Amino acid sequence: MPASESMPLPILLPDQPPFNLRARILTPLAAGGHRFEADGLLTVDAAGRITSVGSFADTPGLGPVFDLRPWLVLPGLVDLHVHLPQVPHAGLGFGTPLLDWLRRYVFPLEHDFTEAVAEVVAPAVYRGFAAAGTTTALMYGAVYEPSLDAAFRAAEAHGIRAVIGKVMMDRLTYDETLRPSEVLDLSLRQSADLCDRWHMRDNGRLRYAFTPRFAVSCSPEMLRESAALAKAKGAYWQTHLAEDRAEIAEVARLFPGARDYLDVYDQAGGLGPRTILAHAIHLSDREVARLAESGSHLAHCPASNLFLSSGIMPLGRYLEAGVSVGLGSDVAGGPDLSLFGAMRVGGYVQNALKVATGDPRPILDPFAWLRMASFDGARSLGLEDEIGSIEAGKEADLIVVDTARTAPPAAPALDDPAEILSTLIFRSHPDMVRGAWVRGRRLDGPPG
């Protein structure tokens, strides 16, 4: 037998737009539901925009086509909450309550996150994101301005879509050299300068998020002034909310005039459609209703919530109330950079919650988890017209997955998209993502 008949040809991936892809395609749709093409064709123009999505048979007469079959093209995933400097400590401190964990594992690490460290860590983390299928990440940096510049420079060079913010803290902080009032002024000025330098760079691929760490680390002035700056500059505002019982008690002690944790941020003018709040595990009905009313977004971090013994987020209750929820890895609170991992843990936890409480709501299916990790994350960033699904007119932020490369091996050949997706979530393999693109430009990281 000639070699060409016995050996499959290697699958070649395009590096730059324009290109045409033939592959299996699965995507949530902006209008709701999802689309699956068992033999699909996707065309991307020279600007990196998707010009058509359809079945291969219905799209005759094209030029050269990259044939990725039997691999599966999905939208690039959106990590709505992750700490860039903490990635080297992923997996450390299992079961340590939040405030102890911050003092023991996080503050020393972030204290040492200098520009030189960021120049080494950031490119490796971005390659790790792409290898995990994440093409957009909303990140916290550490406090030092030059380390933030380094993180942005690395994102600019790598090609990932990145929203990053300098962590702001004028109490419970790791930079003991300055008085709180000096920290407040410096933090606001440096954050504003970083925003001016980086927000909307490369036609909006890089963006800035004002990032007061959480109410425990911030004076009312820090919260208020950072929220005002974010609004004035059209940037994002991100912080942590109601993650841990001891944290909530501390917030109640520090802010006696607030009705509850969310009210601290509300009084600061922090709520609204450009706001992303991480965790939000322990909320009253009032807080849930106010979140929905304000149009703020939650970053659900199920792996972190279990790793740090923080609790179980009542996701069904929030969704029913109309709260917008995307998915976050929260590394290093969560040990896994992969959002497939976050989908898996989230699925398990919500299943356990249902069994334990007798909650009659149906659990979320694999399509709902994929939507949360892609389209809903994009919408939380106001990018639902640009990314988050594979539809004509959107930018080509894509990943391709070898669906046979799951763990354990010997995956069955499946035709049903719900079953394929279920295997990607529940038996995902670190090497199953083979390629990742932002605006049609291939990212370094996946093995190819």
Which residues in this chain contact ligand GUN in the complex, by CB under 6 A? 83, 98, 102, 106, 213-214, 240, 243, 304, 330, 333
Q: Per rule CB under 5 A, is residue 170 in the interface with Zn ion?
A: no
Edge-to-edge strands, sheet with 50-55: 50-55, 34-44, 19-28, 66-75, 398-401, 433-438, 441-442
CB of 212 to Zn ion, least distance (A): 12
Contact 272, 294 (CB under 8 A): yes
Distances 388 to 76, 243, 365, 391, 444 between C-alpha atoms, Å: 7, 27, 18, 9, 20
In the list ligand GUN, Zn ion, none, the entry touching 84 (Cβ below 5 to 8 angstroms by class) is none
CB of 142 to ligand GUN, least distance (A): 10
Candidate segments 218-226, 329-337, 372-380, 391-399, binder of Zn ion by CB under 5 A: 329-337
Distance CA 134, CA 125 (A): 11
Distance CA 41, CA 54 (A): 5
Distances 338 to 26, 79, 114, 326, 417 between C-alpha atoms, Å: 19, 9, 25, 14, 20
In the list Zn ion, ligand GUN, none, the entry touching 300 (Cβ below 5 to 8 angstroms by class) is none
In the list Zn ion, ligand GUN, none, the entry touching 425 (Cβ below 5 to 8 angstroms by class) is none
CB of 247 to ligand GUN, least distance (A): 7
In the list ligand GUN, Zn ion, none, the entry touching 213 (Cβ below 5 to 8 angstroms by class) is ligand GUN
Backbone angles phi, psi at 19, to 5 degrees: -160, 165
Closer residue to ligand GUN, CB minimum distance, 170 or 397 = 170
**Contacts to Zn ion from residues 50-69, by CB under 5 A:** none
In the list ligand GUN, Zn ion, none, the entry touching 434 (Cβ below 5 to 8 angstroms by class) is none
Distance CA 135, CA 138 (A): 10
CB of 68 to ligand GUN, least distance (A): 37
In the list Zn ion, ligand GUN, none, the entry touching 368 (Cβ below 5 to 8 angstroms by class) is none
SS3 of 183-220: the string is HHHHHHHHHHHHHHHHCCHHHHCEEEEEEECCHHHCCH
CB of 300 to Zn ion, least distance (A): 12
CB of 402 to ligand GUN, least distance (A): 32
In the list Zn ion, ligand GUN, none, the entry touching 154 (Cβ below 5 to 8 angstroms by class) is none
Closer residue to ligand GUN, CB minimum distance, 83 or 297 = 83
Closer residue to ligand GUN, CB minimum distance, 102 or 184 = 102
DSSP assignment of 324-341: EEEE---TTTSS---HHH
CB of 173 to ligand GUN, least distance (A): 11
Closer residue to Zn ion, CB minimum distance, 298 or 443 = 298
Contact 126, 135 (CB under 8 A): no
Closer residue to ligand GUN, CB minimum distance, 296 or 304 = 304
Tokens of 137: 């990440």
- Binding residues with Zn ion: total (CB under 5 A): 2
Tokens of 37: 């093409």
CB of 314 to ligand GUN, least distance (A): 18
In the list ligand GUN, Zn ion, none, the entry touching 243 (Cβ below 5 to 8 angstroms by class) is ligand GUN
CB of 156 to ligand GUN, least distance (A): 25
**Contacts to Zn ion from residues 275-304, by CB under 5 A:** 278
Tokens of 130: 């792409």
Distance CA 365, CA 348 (A): 11
Q: Per rule CB under 5 A, is residue 110 in the interface with Zn ion?
A: no
Q: Per rule CB under 5 A, is residue 244 in the interface with Zn ion?
A: no
Contact 308, 97 (CB under 8 A): yes
Contact 242, 287 (CB under 8 A): yes
| CB-closest chain residue to Zn ion | 330
| CB-closest chain residue to ligand GUN | 333
Closer residue to ligand GUN, CB minimum distance, 101 or 208 = 101
Question: What residues pair up with 288 in beta bridges, in sequence order?
Answer: none
- Check whether the bond before 332 is cis (ω within 30° of 0): yes
In the list ligand GUN, Zn ion, none, the entry touching 98 (Cβ below 5 to 8 angstroms by class) is ligand GUN
Cα dihedral 73/74/76/81 (nearest 10): -150
CB of 287 to Zn ion, least distance (A): 18
Distance CA 367, CA 375 (A): 11
Q: Which of 170, 287, 330, 395 is close enough to bind Zn ion by CB under 5 A?
A: 330
Binding residues for Zn ion (CB under 5 A): 278, 330
